[in-house]
Structure formats: structure tokens, C-alpha cells
Structure 1
Amino acid sequence: MGCSGWWLLWTACLLNTFLQHSAVRVMVREANVEAIQGDSVVLPCSFFTMIPLSRLNIIWTVAPVSDPDSPSQVIVYDQGQVIESPAFTGRAGFTGIPWSADVILNDTRVSDSGIYRCVVSNPPEVGDPGIGELSLSVLAPPSLPVCLWEGEIEAGGSVTLSCAVAEGVPTPEMRWEKTSPDKITLPLNMDSDMSGSVQMANISAQTSGVYRCYVSNLLGSHSCYINLSVYTPPDNSPGILQGVLLTLSMALLLLALLVLVLWLHRSGQERKMRSPKEQEEEEECYNEIRYTPSLIKRSFV
């Protein structure tokens, strides 16, 4: 056998060894994929193999954002058979099987967001399966917010206005404002990524009005409203009238006492200022009155 024959034999053996021991190579064209809720999106995954595809196996899994430590299957291709996960039934499908591992995901939901893995093996290739990984983010406008209030709506009390939204990607921005009768932006306390509140203390009649919680992200916005009416207790008019009457009565009584004291004082001063003759005449007058009964009595004896 010539040198060329040995060379061909050696090449054939090397190629056979390579084919027997080569591994599938997987390529992901996009590492980060975005979709709007309700739309369709393609999860790209390409692979290269030197072995016929009669025993090709492709497994797609997802580790959801809500529970990244618990991955689950999305769809499987195993030797010509396609198996869908119950959570993705009717929504996930291969687009170019068996030559491509691309998957289309329809009617996307926010809960679909997570890390997706494409695992490809093709026996008799004995190497490790090829693995591709990508991140899917499903964007959504804010859901309709819910506005609530709690506290005492009587003047002088305290009230808390709260607002919460169930869904929105990216995380919605939130704003509280009074819309009427005057437009005022209120300081917001974020209780979580999806809820916020406003604290109002020592409220008054001026606090009454319409309040709005406004939530928005790049896909849309929504609002909810609260009509706040602060109760102001009526004045206690009968009690005030009784107090006024009592005060007037006391004032009149004190005035009468003052007049009596002044009159007595003035009478004493006038007696002191009389002449001795006037005082004697007064005494005689008193004496005449004092002795008249005895004279009358004697006239009948």
C-alpha cells in the first residue's frame, strides 16, 4: 500500500473518531429578548451536529422571575415527538424542527418572564449536551390601580390614602395629587414597588376634595380617585346661649349689689352732714311719736 493509501486510511479513522466523540454545539443569537404582553415572541436557539438527526433531543426549560430556583419544562422534542408543558399548552411550538431549536411563544404573559435554557443532544454523540441560555422580559402596562382610604374624616383627625397596582413592567411610577378644588401634588410614601400611601394629619374642611392616584410606565397609564369630605361638627348654640344668659344674670346681680352699697354709703354721708338743729327736730319728732300713745291713753282715764 502506497503512502497515499495510508494517508486516506488515517484520515478516515480520524474522521470516524471525531464523528463518534464530537458534541453538539448550541448558539443563542440574542441573550436578552423582550416582548409586550399578549404578543408573540421567538426564542432563538441554533445548533450544529455532525450526526444524523434521527435521535435528536431538544429540551426547553424556564426559571421564572417569581421563583428562579424552581425551573420547569416548556416544550420537548424527542426523536420526532413534541411534548408541551401543561402551562404552555397551545402557546409554545418549534418553528424549524429538526434543523432549528427555535421556539415561538404566543399570547405572552408577565409570568412568562425568566431565564430560558435550550438543551440539545444528538446520540450517538457522546459529549455533553449543548446548552444555550437567554433572558425573556414580558412588558406590560400598569393594571388599574385600587384606591382606598382609612382613618377619621372628622375635623382634627388623621387620614391615610393608599394606592396599589397588581401588575406593570417596567415597575410603574406612582403619584398622588389633589385635583380639586385646588391642584396639589402630595408627598408619597412607597410601601412597596407596587403600592404607595399619603398620610394627612389634623385635617380640616380645607382638606376636602378629589384626590387622584396616577400610575404609569412606558406602555401606558391609569388612575383611580377618592372624593374626601371632612366632617365639621356644628357649634353647640344652646350651650353658648345658656352661658351668655348666666353671665348676664351674674353681671346684673353684681350691679344691683353695687348700687345698694353706694346708696347705703351715700345715705350715711347725708346723715353726717345734717346740722344739730335738724337732728334735734328729728329727735323731737321721734319723741312725739313715741309718747303720743301714752297721752291718748291718759285722756280716757
Structure 2
Amino acid sequence: MFHTRMELCFTLLSLLTALVSPLEITSSPKAPLEKASGQTVKLDCQFSLSSSDTGPLDIEWSLLASDNQINDQVVILYSGDRVYEDYYEPMKGRVHFNTPDPKSGDASINLTGLKSTDTGTYQCKVKKAPGISSKKMQLIVMVRPSKPKCSTEGTLEEGKNIVLRCSTTEGTKPMQYKWEKTSDSKLLPSTSVMDPVEGTVNVRNVSASASGSYRCVASNRVGSEECDLYLQVTPPRNIGGIIAGSIIAILLILLLLAIILYCFCRARKNKKYEKEICNEIREDVPPPKSRVSSTRSFSQMGSQRSSLGSMSPSNLHEYTLKSQYSMKSQYDKIPSTEEYERPPSQAPLPPPTAARMAGPNLSRMGAIPVMTPAQNRDGSIV
């Protein structure tokens, strides 16, 4: 009997619980949201309350950490009838509730100015005691492709292999590249192979018909960008002429170097020869000879001047003539270079002096005899 009553009580309690619905988030789960950077996204979180939920309403949005060792980061919070938006510094000023009063059952938020760092899993948790419920959703912020750069690799000559390359510096993968020709037949060369993932077109044995304008379009799920390229294929170069010209140029350079080296060696040799000539002591040329000192002549003139005071006017004129003749004779007898080189035994005799006039001759001429002191060769009185 007792067991029957207990079973009846449990059954009535289950029916009462089923009639009263608890707090529940009514938003249906969605696939991961994909948005481009710079756009705005709405993270939906609708909820319903039951009459048994009598506690204060708390709404919390958080960005879940990908690593269990790191704590989850609260993004925005509603508690005590007040909104707290500046919980997460990287999203400061960019996250807001969708309605001014979340108690109406709308806990959705709007995130503006999306960045690639906003990518992650977000959780909406609604709590009104004793009810509590949560929901998770994934957001993927993709970066639009930046303007690609078109370039070529290889020699643009007929018969050569070239590569058309297209690359971007920014953009969320997977990225797709597409090449197309925008001139003439608008078809890629028949020998080309395109790689849409790497953005390259390999053209083998390129021909002149491959010349023209090309366009590359880089795209992902959130946008696309393009670049243009003009290709000009030239005829093959004359390899034989280039080789011959190179050989001639090399020979001319070698010849020029040889001429410069020869001139340098010759100038150096001439400079060395001039230096040796300047330093050479010539022994076959005798040193210059100085004239014989006329000390003797000057001494004789001095002695003669000392005796002029004792002569009369008539004798003075005759003496002057004799002195001039004597000095002229001495200067005329200056020895030559050959005489200096003779040995002492062959030296010439001194020139004869003028004969003194006899006393009687002087008397006839009216001269008055005067006694003159004797003098030696150096002019001193004996």
C-alpha cells in the first residue's frame, strides 16, 4: 500500500514538471558563420523563461579558448539590469546587444568591424535561477584577397619555356586563381598548364601567338581581386653573332690592356734610366780650374805705390808707363789649361821684366837721382 502511494506521487510530480517548461534558448543551431573582415555579424541567441525562474537574469557572452590551459574570455555581460560591454579589450567599442532590454528574450549581440582575430567559438549563457541554458556557435572571419601581383619567369623568346605567376600577400585560404587571355582569341596557349591553387601557368615552347594581354583573378569565399599582364614574345636571338661579337670584344680589351702595360713598362724603364744617369759620376771630365791667384802682382803693385811719393813729376810719368806695361805683360802670361796640367819640371819660366833704365840715361832726360830702398818679392823693405 505504501509503495503504491509513492509511485503515485512520483507520477504526479513528473506530470507537473512536464506542464511547466524550464528556461530554454530557442535559437536553432546553425552552421559556422563565415564573414569577411570589416563586415558586421549578428550572433543570435533567443531564449524563453518559465514561471518557476524567479531569480535575477544574467546573460553572458564569452569567447572560448582553443586550449584547455587558457581561461575563456568574457566578451559582454548583462547582470542586475545593467549592460557591461568593455570586458574584452580587442573588441572594445565593437560589440553590443541587439536590443536595449535583453529581458525581452533576445540576448543576441552584434559584432562590427570584424577582424581575423575575431575568429573562434562563442557561447551564449542565459541564467535565471533556477533555470540556466547555453548555446555555442562558431564564427570564421575571412580576409578578402589583396590585389594580386602578376609576373613572368623565363626568357620571352620563341621556343623558350615561361611561367606566368599570380600571387597575393593577404587573403584567407583556400584561395583560387584563374588565368585568362583578354586579347585575340581569348584562349590560353595550347601548350600551357594552369595550376589554380598556386596561381601559375606553365607555357612550354612558347610561340609568337602567345603575345597579348592576360588577366589573373584571385578569389576566396568572401571576395576577389585581379591583376593584368601584357606578354610580348620576341624572335630568337642570333647566338652565332653574339658569340662572335663577344670574342671580338674580349680581344679588343686584351689588346688595350697589352698597350697600357707596354706603355707603363716603357715609362718605368725611362724613369729608371734617367735616375741612373743623374747619379752617375763621370771620371773622364776634369774638374774646372780656378785662375792663379794674382797675389804676387798685387804685392808688387803695393811696393811700387809705396815708392811713388819719392818720385819727381817727370819721373812719375815714366814710371806709370812702365807699370802699365809690366801689368799688361803679366796678365797676358796667365797660364792656360794645358800649362796647369804639365808637371812642375816643365812649368814655363816667369816672364822677363822690363830692364831698368841706366842712370846716365835718366840724367839726360833731366831726372834727379833718388835713392829707393830695396824690396823683396813679397813687398817688404830689405
- TM-score bracket, normalised by the shorter chain, equals 0.5 to 0.7
Tell me the residue number matched to 2:47: 47
Partner Cα distance (1:91, 1:207) in 2: 51
Q: Which residue of structure 1 aligns with residue 199 of structure 2?
A: 196
1:150 maps onto 2:153 in alignment: yes
Letter in 1 for 2:45: C
| Corresponding residue number in structure 2 for 1:263 | none
For the structure 1 residues 190 and 62, does the alpha-carbon distance in structure 2 shift closer, same or farther, using more than 3 Å as the test?
Answer: farther
The one-letter code of the counterpart of 1:106 is: T
AA of the residue aligned to 1:209 = G
* Residue 216 of structure 1: how far off its partner (Å): 5.0
Contact 2:176 2:196 in 1 (8 A): no
Aligned to 2:253: none
Number of the residue aligned with 2:26: 27
Residues 137-166 of structure 1, C-alpha deviations (whole Å, 9 max, x = no match) = 557765422223223334433222122343
TM-score by length of 1: 0.54
- Higher RCO (CA-CA < 8 Å; seq separation 6+): 1
Distance 1:153-1:44 versus aligned 2 partners, 3 A rule: same
State the aligned residue count: 212
CA shift for structure 1 position 196: 1.7
> How far is 1:131 from its partner?
1.5
Determine which structure has the larger strand proportion and give its number. Answer: 1
Q: Distance in 2 between matches of 1:58 and 1:210?
A: 56
> CA 1:226–1:116 in 2, change beyond 3 Å: closer, same or farther?
same
Offset from partner CA, 1:164-206 (integer Å, 9 cap, x none) = 343369x565321233344213542133xxx421112233444
Q: 1:85 and 2:88 equivalent?
A: yes
Give the partner amino acid of 1:26.
I
Structure 1 match to 2:237: 233
Equivalent in the alignment of 2:306: none
SS of corresponding position for 2:196: strand
Residue 288 of structure 1: aligned partner: none
Q: Contact conserved, 2:76 with 2:95, CA < 8 A, in 1?
A: no
2:126 aligned counterpart, secondary structure: strand
* Preserved contact between residue 146 and residue 224 of structure 1 (Cα < 8 Å): yes
* 1:52-131 matches, cutoff 5 A: 52-53=55-56, 56-61=58-63, 73=73, 75-77=75-77, 79=79, 80=82, 82=84, 83-96=86-99, 97-99=101-103, 100-109=106-115, 112-122=118-128, 125=130, 129-131=132-134
TM-fit CA distance, 1:92: 0.7
Q: Residue 76 of structure 1: SS of its match in structure 2?
A: strand
Match of 1:261 in 2: none
Secondary structure, aligned partner of 2:90: helix
Structure 1 match to 2:284:
none
Q: Secondary structure at the match of 1:167?
A: coil
**Distance in 2 of aligned mates of 1:148 and 1:62:** 43
* Structure 2: stretches of 5+ with no match in the other structure: 1-8, 245-382
Would the alpha carbon gap of residues 71 and 206 (structure 1) be closer, same or farther in structure 2, given more than 3 Å must change? farther
Cα 1:28–1:183 change in 2 (3 A) is same
Structure 1 Cα separation of the partners of residues 213 and 133 of structure 2: 60
Letter in 2 for 1:76: I
Say if 1:35 and 1:230 are closer, same or farther in 2 by CA, change over 3 A.
closer
Give the equivalent residue in structure 1 for 2:171. Answer: 167
Query: Does the C-alpha gap of structure 1 residues 104 and 238 become closer, same or farther in structure 2, counting only changes over 3 Å?
Result: closer
Conserved 8 A contact 1:28-1:133: no
Corresponding residue SS for 2:182 = strand
Structure 2 residue matching 1:180: 3-state secondary structure: coil
Q: Which amino acid aligns with 1:167?
A: G
Letter in 2 for 1:25: E
* Corresponding residue for residue 214 of structure 1: 217
Greater radius of gyration (CA): 2
Distance 2:175 2:242 in 1: 54
Question: Secondary structure at 2:147's aligned position in 1?
Answer: coil
Give the match's secondary structure for 1:61. Answer: strand
Q: Identity, % of aligned pairs?
A: 28
Cα RMSD over matched residues? 4.2
Distance 2:41 2:243 in 1: 75
